[in-house]
């Protein structure tokens, strides 16, 4: 029913805009990754030396491994917090379910910076937590490792991504036909067995989606390490950020970004495939 | 399966769920509490409660300049991303063109890519074309990245739209232009408001993309970010508490509007690209 002109008219502006301000910049990032900087000048002569540097200098691999470990820890912690919460809400919460659900998702949209700052004031050596410990006479000197450590980064990012994990898991759990759970119990399965053999497998797609979100978004985070991570909590995106700042080597920074982009997109692709396999 | 055994089984789970809620809300509560603390952002217990930090905050001119900058950027971003997002949603819903699947993924990419990648690639583009960094480039970044949010929200709205109404309008002699403004847009009103609120909130809070695209003028999050490096006072708690109050209010309104427009089982925003 829509005319050709209508279709052209609605498709063209966003196509042009997205092409110019998303596709071209991404392509430019790829191009930069093959260029070089000599004496503070950008040299547009393509070769692979940035990628050679990334693979030959162990420092980059080391930061990447640390980043992956932090992201994995965040994913695991978010799952350990978000999954049981979703399970409780979906199967046991009763009437206040809807309200509790809203309470979980409101922080999802609340300022990242505000929440990061809150953790900074809690975990600092003169922070709220150390003050609390001293008040209870548990410690006499501040516990230093709380802030400016990978631990702090994991705590802060877990706080941010737990609702991200909760959401798809909850949606998956809500879609499980309750008849299946009752059938399992009627046929003599215990609670644990019903959970492991009926509920858990049926919630795998939601779990995968949530875990992918938490992992991928943590992987590219550079603000949490700056805010609460300190030197020992530096992640791969911080390396990129310093290469684009004081270190002034955009091409090398672009090469790392391209690597990050490839890892992110492949993980998304992989998890989408896995989710499809588990979908019933 | 008796209700009794079910609730007994739920007891440890209830405690665990309560602890998770504590984890989610504790930082927020601490933040607000210490915004009234005379002696700084840490220590325990907070004592000498005062409104001094709020007074200081309201007299803090550079901070309010930053708020104004953020409001300008957010308003512009809402206008830009709603317009392009509506067109994109219409195209995805109704038109078929080569590369449609690719287009869909590309539009949604900023939703899932780390902000640093979106920010830096735009920075490289702006430097490449010789543009000056300013609030305008921040707006360009926000507006472009948030087309993803507008498109998902409005596409969901379009899916629920009754196309017979548009058909009737066209059959009765209205031009496509009239039909668009008098049938399509009014029917999407709630989705448009909901998407606008969400984009506004996200733009006001954005920091990862802004970080790389900002010129001399700071947005509110960047102003706060700058102050965090210079030593922190409860004034930052106070401004955070206000940001919190405003964003929670906007999100609650967003949720209400969205539920009215799309129904309770609207697909969640966080669908993968």
Which residue of A13, A74, A85 is the best one to mutate when testing the B interface, meaning the one whose CB has the most B CBs within 10 A? A85
Residues of A in contact with B244 (CB under 8 A): 110-111, 114
Across A77-82, average pLDDT: 97
Q: Calculate the alpha carbon distances from B212 to A148, A174, B113, B199 in Å.
A: 24, 41, 15, 20
Exposed/middle/buried for residue B149 (C-beta within 10 Å: 0-12, 13-18, 19+): buried
- Could you give the CA distance from residue A70 to residue A201 in angstroms, rounded to a whole number? 27
Nearest beta carbon to residue B106 from set A23, A220, A272: A23
- Going from the N-terminus, what domains does chain B have, and what CATH number goes with each? 61-232+240-262 (1.10.3720.10)
Q: Calculate the alpha carbon distances from A99 to A83, A161, A168, B20, B41 in Å.
A: 18, 20, 17, 15, 31
Q: What is the DSSP letter of A199?
A: I
- Ramachandran region, residue A137 (left: φ > 0; alpha: ψ -120 to 50; beta: rest): left
Tell me the per-residue pLDDT of A114-153, one tens digit each, with 9 for 90 and over. Answer: 899 999 999 988 888 888 888 888 888 888 888 899 999 9
Question: For residue B270, what pLDDT is reported?
Answer: 47
Residues of A in contact with B247 (CB under 8 A): 109-111
Residues of A in contact with B207 (CB under 8 A): 112-113, 223
Q: Convert A203-251 into a string of H (helix), E (strand) and C (coil).
A: HHHHHHHHHHHHHHHHHCCCHHHHHHHCHHHCCHHHHHHHHHCCCCCHH
Across B26-53, average pLDDT: 87
Question: For residue B263, what pLDDT is reported?
Answer: 66
Burial pattern B214-248, b for ≥16 Cβ within 10 A else e, equals: beebbbbbbbbbebeeeebebbbbbbbbbbbeebb
- Could you give the CA distance from residue B89 to residue B192 in angstroms, rounded to a whole number? 12
More confident of the two residues A105 and A75? A75
Question: For residue B193, what pLDDT is reported?
Answer: 93
Tell me the per-residue pLDDT of B144-175, one tens digit each, with 9 for 90 and over. Answer: 999 999 999 999 999 888 888 888 998 998 98
- Could you give the CA distance from residue B32 to residue B41 in angstroms, rounded to a whole number? 10
Of the pLDDT bands very low, low, confident and very high (cuts 50, 70, 90), residue A154 is: very high
Question: Mind telling me how many Å the CA of B211 is from chain A's nearest CA?
Answer: 10
Q: What is the DSSP letter of A145?
A: G
Question: For residue B2, what pLDDT is reported?
Answer: 41
Across A102-121, average pLDDT: 87
**Residue B253 touches partner A, C-beta closer than 8 Å:** no
Q: For residue B171, what are the contacts with CB-CB under 8 A and spacing of at least 6?
A: none
Q: Convert A204-216 into a string of H (helix), E (strand) and C (coil).
A: HHHHHHHHHHHHH
Q: Are B185 and B227 in contact (CB under 8 A)?
A: no
Question: For residue A191, what pLDDT is reported?
Answer: 85
Across B126-132, average pLDDT: 94
**Binary contact (A119, B202; C-beta < 8 A):** no
Question: Which DSSP string do the residues of chain B spell out, in sequence order?
Answer: --HHHHHHHHHHHHHHHHHHHHHHHHHHHHHHHHTTBTT-S-SSS--SB-SHHHHHHHT-HHHHHHHHHHHHHHHHHHHHHHHHHHHHHHHHHH---TTHHHHHHHHHHHHHS-HHHHHHHHHHHHHHTTPPPSHHHHHHHHHHHTHHHHHHHHHHHHHHS-HHHHHHHHHTT--HHHHIIIIIHHHTHHHHHHHHHHHHHHHHH--TTHHHH--SSPPHHHHHHHHHTT---HHHHHHHHHHHHHHHHHHHHHHHHHHHHH-TTPPPS----
**Residue B260 touches partner A, C-beta closer than 8 Å:** no
Question: For residue A15, what pLDDT is reported?
Answer: 93
**Binary contact (B24, A250; C-beta < 8 A):** no
Phi and psi for A38 in degrees, rounded to 5?
Answer: -120, 125
**Binary contact (A13, B84; C-beta < 8 A):** yes
Which residue of B17, B19, B119, B220 is the best one to mutate when testing the A interface, meaning the one whose CB has the most A CBs within 10 A? B17
Q: Are A121 and B237 in contact (CB under 8 A)?
A: yes
Across A42-53, average pLDDT: 91
Q: Which of A146, A5, A166, A149 is nearest to A78 (CA)?
A: A166
- Could you give the CA distance from residue A197 to residue A179 in angstroms, rounded to a whole number? 14
Query: What's the mean pLDDT when you consider all of chain B?
Result: 88
Of the pLDDT bands very low, low, confident and very high (cuts 50, 70, 90), residue B266 is: low
Across B49-72, average pLDDT: 93
Question: For residue B264, what pLDDT is reported?
Answer: 55
Q: What is the DSSP letter of A41?
A: E
Residues of A in contact with B122 (CB under 8 A): 21, 25
Of the pLDDT bands very low, low, confident and very high (cuts 50, 70, 90), residue B1 is: very low
Nearest beta carbon to residue A132 from set B44, B128, B252: B44
**Binary contact (B90, A10; C-beta < 8 A):** yes
Q: Calculate the alpha carbon distances from B96 to A15, A46, A190, B162, B243 in Å.
A: 13, 37, 51, 20, 42
Nearest beta carbon to residue B34 from set A6, A121, A135: A121
Residue A254 has pLDDT above 90, yes or no: yes
ipTM score assigned to the predicted complex: 0.90
Q: Which of A216, A79, A215, A235 is nearest to A152 (CA)?
A: A235
Question: Which residue of chain A comes nearest to B171, CA vs CA?
Answer: A1
Lowest mean pLDDT among A275-279, B21-25, B192-196: A275-279
Which residue of B20, B147, B268 is the best one to mutate when testing the A interface, meaning the one whose CB has the most A CBs within 10 A? B20
Residue B221 has pLDDT above 80, yes or no: yes
Q: Are B63 and B242 in contact (CB under 8 A)?
A: no
Residues of B in contact with A131 (CB under 8 A): 42-45
Count other C-beta atoms under 10 Å from residue B23's C-beta.
16
Residue B273 has pLDDT above 70, yes or no: no
**Residue B113 touches partner A, C-beta closer than 8 Å:** yes
Residues 124-183 of B with CB under 8 A from A: 124-125, 128, 140, 144, 147, 163, 166-167, 170, 176
Tell me the per-residue pLDDT of A221-245, one tens digit each, with 9 for 90 and over. Answer: 999 999 999 888 899 999 999 999 8
**CATH architecture label of A48-278:** Orthogonal Bundle (1.10)
**Residue B45 touches partner A, C-beta closer than 8 Å:** yes
**Binary contact (A261, B117; C-beta < 8 A):** yes
Question: Which residue of chain A comes nearest to B87, CA vs CA?
Answer: A10
Residue B76 has pLDDT above 60, yes or no: yes
Question: Which residue of chain B comes nearest to A228, CA vs CA?
Answer: B228
């Amino acid at each position: 029913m829509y005319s050709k002109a209508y279709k052209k008219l609605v498709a063209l502006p966003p196509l042009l805009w997205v092409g110019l301000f998303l596709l071209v910049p991404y392509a430019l990032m790829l191009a930069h990754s093959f260029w070089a900087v000599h004496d503070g000048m950008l040299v547009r002569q393509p070769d692979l030396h940035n990628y050679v540097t990334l693979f030959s200098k162990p420092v980059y691999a080391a930061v990447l491994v640390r980043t992956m470990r932090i992201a994995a820890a965040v994913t695991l912690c978010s799952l350990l917090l978000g999954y049981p919460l979703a399970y409780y809400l979906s199967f046991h919460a009763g009437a206040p379910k809807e309200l509790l659900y809203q309470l979980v998702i409101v922080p999802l949209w609340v300022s990242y910076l505000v929440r990061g700052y809150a953790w900074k004031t809690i975990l600092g050596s003169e922070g709220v937590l150390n003050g609390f410990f001293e008040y209870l006479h548990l410690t006499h000197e501040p516990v230093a490792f709380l802030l400016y450590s990978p631990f702090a980064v994991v705590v802060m990012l877990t706080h941010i991504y737990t609702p991200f994990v909760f959401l798809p898991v909850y949606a998956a759990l809500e879609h499980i036909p309750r008849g299946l759970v009752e059938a399992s119990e009627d046929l003599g399965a215990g609670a644990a067995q019903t959970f492991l053999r009926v509920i858990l497998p049926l919630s795998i797609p939601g779990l995968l989606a949530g875990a992918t979100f938490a992992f991928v978004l943590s992987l590219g985070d550079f603000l949490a390490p700056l805010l609460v991570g300190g030197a020992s909590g530096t992640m791969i995106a911080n390396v990129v950020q310093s290469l684009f700042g004081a270190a002034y080597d955009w091409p090398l920074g672009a090469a790392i970004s391209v690597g990050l982009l490839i890892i992110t997109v492949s993980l998304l692709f992989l998890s989408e495939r896995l989710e499809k396999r588990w979908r019933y | 399966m008796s209700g009794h055994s079910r609730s007994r089984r739920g007891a440890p789970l209830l405690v665990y769920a309560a602890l998770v809620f504590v984890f989610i809300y504790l930082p927020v509560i601490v933040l607000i509490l210490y915004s009234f603390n005379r002696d700084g952002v840490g220590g325990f217990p907070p004592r000498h409660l005062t409104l001094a930090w709020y007074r200081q905050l309201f007299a803090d001119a550079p901070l309010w300049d930053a708020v104004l900058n953020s409001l300008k950027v957010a308003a512009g971003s809402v206008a830009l991303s709603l317009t392009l997002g509506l067109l994109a949603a219409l195209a995805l819903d109704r038109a078929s063109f080569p590369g449609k699947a690719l287009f869909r993924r590309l539009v949604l990419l900023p939703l899932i890519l780390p902000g640093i990648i979106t920010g830096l690639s735009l920075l490289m583009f702006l430097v490449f074309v010789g543009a000056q960094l300013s609030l305008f480039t921040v707006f360009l970044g926000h507006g472009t990245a948030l087309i993803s949010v507008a498109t998902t929200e409005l596409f969901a709205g379009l899916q629920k739209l009754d196309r017979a109404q548009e058909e009737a309008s066209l059959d009765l002699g209205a031009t496509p232009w009239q039909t668009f403004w008098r049938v399509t847009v009014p029917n999407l009103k709630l989705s448009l408001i909901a998407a606008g609120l969400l984009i506004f909130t996200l733009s006001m809070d954005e920091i990862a993309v802004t970080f790389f695209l900002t010129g001399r003028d700071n947005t509110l999050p960047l102003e706060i970010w700058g102050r965090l490096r210079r030593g922190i006072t409860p004034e930052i708690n106070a401004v955070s508490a206000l940001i919190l109050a405003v964003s929670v209010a906007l999100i609650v309104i967003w949720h209400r509007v969205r539920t009215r427009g799309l129904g309770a089982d609207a697909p969640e925003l966080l669908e993968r690209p």
